[in-house]
Copies of this chain bind each other. A is one copy, B any other.
């Protein structure tokens, strides 16, 4: 089975992944039934490792919960060379050209990668290195904040895989790159 780089992210109808203050409270504005995980467990079960930007890593570190991942986390950073001591068992810093990072992780046996964080996702899209996107649309217009998408050199066609409506309000659509290029 082909390995892939995935985006799985909550996004407002106007395309933001965090509000003007970096806040994420709006992601929880629709109450979801107990046990409803918006497909998270199924998605998380498919991935081998996470690759996230420094800002997202620091955001996760700042959450008032235990470390939420039991899979390897790679932190993309041009400035940070190592993670803080408390995270040494959990995360590792990577840098360099994105295709090389991906190739190196694949070489280490990490096939399916979960690409997370706005800047990182935008960089991966610009480099045409995203294979699947699972977009979870929260019914709100934020009117400003951190955008999910950025400029691309050329349009990127996608194939619709499926769409599910969760809690009668949250529209989750799964897309796949229209033209699979082996690399």
Which of A135, A137, A150, A160 has the most CB atoms of chain B within a 10 A radius of its CB? A160
This chain: copies in complex: 2
- A155 to B, closest residue via Cβ: B142
Q: Which of A142-183 contact B (CB under 8 A)?
A: 142-144, 148-160, 163, 165, 168-171, 173, 175, 178
Interface size for A (C-beta < 8 A) is 38
A140 on the B face (CB < 8 A):
yes
- A157 to B, closest residue via Cβ: B140
Complex Cα spacing A153 to B143, Å: 7
A2 on the B face (CB < 8 A):
no
A118 on the B face (CB < 8 A):
no
Complex Cα spacing A38 to B136, Å: 22
**Given A160-B171, A169-B160: A155 touches B139 (CB 8 Å cut-off):** no
Complex Cα spacing A137 to B172, Å: 12
Interchain CB contact under 8 A, A141 and B156: yes
A12-20, A70-78, A99-107 - interface stretch = A12-20
A110 on the B face (CB < 8 A):
no
**Given A15-B15, A149-B15: A141 touches B163 (CB 8 Å cut-off):** no
| Chain A residues packing against B (C-beta within 8 Å) | 13-15, 19, 26, 29, 125, 133, 135, 137, 139-144, 148-160, 163, 165, 168-171, 173, 175, 178
17 residue pairs bridging A and B, Cβ less than 8 Å apart: A14-B15, A14-B149, A19-B155, A29-B157, A125-B141, A139-B157, A141-B152, A141-B156, A142-B152, A142-B155, A143-B149, A143-B156, A144-B152, A159-B169, A160-B165, A160-B169, A171-B173
